[in-house]
Chains A and B, each alone.
Chain A
Amino acid sequence: NAGVTQTPKFQVLKTGQSMTLQCAQDMNHEYMSWYRQDPGMGLRLIHYSVGAGITDQGEVPNGYNVSRSTTEDFPLRLLSAAPSQTSVYFCASSYSTSPDSPLHFGNGTRLTVT
């Protein structure tokens, strides 16, 4: 049972480069989301999706793009990387959109932008 799988685990980019962080879940979860984790700040929501074809912005969406063509996959695209996007990124999913539904997290992608 793989759960939530994120790739890559580590990535180094130069300023201005673009890349896609991959996220896949095999639990048939309705809700998927992307967070970034910065020291002393907890996790902040970037984008989320409540089902295939439906996405919306979270707290810190600027510089990021998402799409959800299937239930399983929810990639996060960095359009033009900036040093401020150096962070650890987590994908999370949940079986429903109810606020008492726990989140299932991937193991994270550590991104460094130089």
Chain B
Amino acid sequence: AQSVTQLDSHVSVSEGTPVLLRCNYSSSYSPSLFWYVQHPNKGLQLLLKYTSAATLVKGINGFEAEFKKSETSFHLTKPSAHMSDAAEYFCVVSVKPVINDMRFGAGTRLTVKP
């Protein structure tokens, strides 16, 4: 069973317009949720995480995400895209209370047009 689904494999926006990257998850356990970003030929870098505190989570570089339990979603947003935001983004969910069972989404490639 799919534990985490990123609904778009590719998103293209113009510089200065909003960004929305969508992630749905399934878990019988109260999950921890993360967004990571991967720039070309680099490792993944943590953008933000949710761990059962505030449902709206602010991350680095102006990104934020909202945990909606009723919709089992954890969408990533940014009000205004920059060229430097072009990268691959991964939604990650811990489906059990153990670190070795984190499930990665397939990734969303964000393109930013000038």
- A44–B102 Cα distance when bound, in Å, is 9
- 1/0 per residue A62-84: CB within 8 Å of B? 00000000000000000000000
- List the A side residues contacting B34 at CB < 8 Å: 102
Are the C-beta atoms of B102 and A40 separated by less than 8 Å? no
Q: CB of A101 within 8 A of chain B?
A: yes
Contact of B45 among A45, A48, A105 (CB under 8 A): A105
- A92–B45 Cα distance when bound, in Å, is 11
Q: CB of B43 within 8 A of chain A?
A: yes
Q: CB of A12 within 8 A of chain B?
A: no
Listed residue (B44, B96, B97, B98) with the most chain A CB atoms within 10 angstroms of its CB: B44
Are the C-beta atoms of B98 and A97 separated by less than 8 Å? yes
Are the C-beta atoms of A102 and B49 separated by less than 8 Å? yes
Smallest CB separation, A86 vs chain B (Å): 17
Are the C-beta atoms of A48 and B100 separated by less than 8 Å? yes
Are the C-beta atoms of B9 and A40 separated by less than 8 Å? yes
- A97–B41 Cα distance when bound, in Å, is 27
Are the C-beta atoms of A107 and B42 separated by less than 8 Å? yes
Smallest CB separation, A110 vs chain B (Å): 8
Q: A33-B100, A43-B104, A56-B100 are in contact. Are A100 and B43 (CB under 8 A)?
A: no
- List the A side residues contacting B9 at CB < 8 Å: 40
- List the A side residues contacting B73 at CB < 8 Å: none
- A100–B103 Cα distance when bound, in Å, is 13
- A58–B20 Cα distance when bound, in Å, is 32
Instruction: Point out residues on A near B: beta carbons under 8 Å.
Output: 4, 31, 33, 35, 40-45, 48, 50, 56, 58, 90, 92, 94, 96-108
Top 5 A-B residue pairs of the complex, sorted by shortest distance between their CB atoms: A105-B43, A42-B104, A99-B94, A100-B51, A100-B32
Instruction: Point out residues on B near A: beta carbons under 8 Å.
Output: 4, 9, 32, 34, 36, 41-46, 49, 51, 90, 94, 96-107
